[in-house]
Structure 1
Amino acid sequence: MAELAAHQAVAEIDDGRAEVWLLNEGNPGWLGVTIAEVTADKAKELKLPAARGVILSRVEADSPAAKAGLKANDVITEFNGQRVEDTLQFRRLIRETPGGRTVQLTFWRDGRAQSVSVELGAFPDKLEGHGFGPKEFKFEMPEFGGKLFGHDIFLQQGPRLGIDAEDLRGQLGSYFGAPDGEGVLVRDVASGTPAEKAGLKAGDVIIKIDGERVRTVHDLREKMRAKRENKTVSVSVIRKGTEMSFNVEVEQPRPSAERKKLISRRISI
């Protein structure tokens, strides 16, 4: 796992305070784009076949993306043949690919799919020199997030499990015994989290939340977001070919008047 270097800052939100952690993750690949989620309205506007993928809202000059010919409003739909669901997944795919490696991207432009090879660069440390330490500042924050020094800030939008996960499909999904070969593979379970306390383990494949089918990380996020009022959720997994269920006492997001921990992830990847 990439080494994490964290810098702490303190911000005021409403009448409360928040701890903001800016994560600098090892030496990930860099594409040089700003990305946004594909909404149903945006999918219709761009004539997409489905509301998935990521929109390139900005392409930096002289970046790997620009050199490959990618443009603003292109929609990335596949990464090395893997379907792209949302921004969280796409950031992970870029982050886990070393700079200097060439990747194949499928994108949607002018009503049709196209492909391009892109040699990723090394991610520049844009926070270097900001001199982060405990300090107070004010910034505008919408209900569930905002930006800080060009970074995305994500507030917890639903009950927290405490896992690192990825989409599982195709032959690998069948190997793990997932129904229809689809599910969410648990890559890592953080220590002391609700998932660990309930007994979830790396290698489990999540297939249901409270009996509702889960096929992708996007499904999992949406279903967990809908459980904001729940104290416990039932998580069904496949483990070594056997389906089992765990009752997880989840952590709820805190109101803004309380102290919050915000995780900052780069919006430019």
Structure 2
Amino acid sequence: MSTSPYSSKPKGGFLARRRATLLASALALGVAGTLGVQALTTGATPAYAQSSAIAPQAAPALPSFADVADRVRPAVVSVRVKTEATGPLAMGPGGPGGPGGPGAPGQRGPGGIPGLDQLPDDHPLKRFFKQFGQGDEQQQRRNPRRFGMSQGSGFFISGDGYVVTNNHVVANAKEVELVRDDAKTTLKAKVVGTDPRTDVALLKVEGDRKDWPYVSFADNKQTRIGDWVIAVGNPFGLGGTVTAGIVSARGRDIGAGPYDDFLQIDAAVNHGNSGGPTFNLRGEVVGVNTAIYSPSGGNVGVAFSIPAEIVTDVVAKLKDVGVVERGYIGVQIQPVTDEIAESLGLKTAQGALVAEAQSGTPGEKAGLKSGDVIQKVNGETVAEARDLSRKIASFNPGTKVELTYWRDGKELKTDLTLGKLPEQQQASLNSGDDESESDAGGANVKLGIQVTPASRVAGSGDKGLVVTGVDDDGQAAGKLEQGDVILEVGGREVTSAKDVTASLDAAQKSGKRSVLLRVKRNDATRFVPVEIGRG
């Protein structure tokens, strides 16, 4: 017969059994505590952990940037620039005085302060702003000069005090101060010269000191995608900041200028890093930080540096004469696409296509014509249109160069003496009037366009055909626009819609899948490839 443990009554009863259980637990804890102390004091692993213990291993050799940072930081400076502001005082939305937020100019109420004119003349707030010139247009006219401050970074490149930074950091500078890495030494500097096309500027510290710590430029032929780099600079005015990353791309064209050839890095670069150096692990400058890609305005790991080879060339010219003079051919060029290459009989889409040789320029005098493809400069291959611009710009005016080019299925050569690149001119926009019909006008079904002679449209010149309509479903859709002037089709000048049709028919009969249209738009001439299919 079974009995319930609660119904039986052994000696000592329930309380005695409870005491025995607690005593046994206390003894077990005591033993475990003793083992734990022993494990801590002797290094022994508790029995329960022996089967799952992870043995420590030697730490892998990770890269450290401390040594190179220590070496180069004394040569890096923060650049503080005092600039003179122009135009009316900007105000934050609904705020009294002060600038509006970046990218969003402040709004301005009557008298400079929203609602200020509604306050009585003896109101303390109105008297305060009038006292300091806010809301008083006459006071602002009496004191038109106002100054602002901007910040960036830079670095010494010589012991006698030459410093490199960005052009956009010191643009319109009235005063320039350099703050060294110790944040204690402030130096006065002057702008020696700037080059807006590459965004490089050269400064010189005032005084005769010859032993400033400086850094050297790298040979970027040895810089590879994936190499470690560090950026040193003055982000957000903090100064002396070091970030690390890798070279994530080379030869980037971001549309900043005609000579774009940026290194892309993923080291953190922010506002204030502009003009600061990017170093390799040998402490050599591989680039000058100049731009970031950022939808939010902050670092997203995509930054761009001007390569060392471009900076050294520009700095040498700024140091010698204070300006950069570049060689000049005098031709409008464009990239060679697969369609263009096929149309011209080229095996590869390589080189720079001459859209127009401007009258009186070295290129025109050397015999270059629209439709030529420049393939080499002094025997060096021209990869694409921007490559030609960079190569020619690297020469001084007056330099003789040999150009290799493609024309009518043959490779030809010519020698020319480079001219001086003129100041960039703004292309004027010629807006055509409504089309004027003539017997030479009409439609071309194959391209899906309407044309009329240029001589009939004010401001379009006297050569070619003005595009007056483009069919959204036609072959020229997305390639031609209303107002474009078609000068040639397939290398033939056109003066009527019939000429266009005849040129297209000839191209099809020769087995071409596309034809080149020489088109003028906004005073710039270029070639436009349009597919026509085989005949």
TM-score bracket, normalised by the shorter chain, equals: 0.3 to 0.5
The structure number with the bigger radius of gyration is: 2
Structure ranking higher on relative contact order (CA contacts 8 Å, 6+ apart): 1
| Greater strand fraction, Structure 1 or Structure 2 | 1
| Greater helix fraction, Structure 1 or Structure 2 | 2
TM norm structure 1: 0.42
TM norm structure 2: 0.23
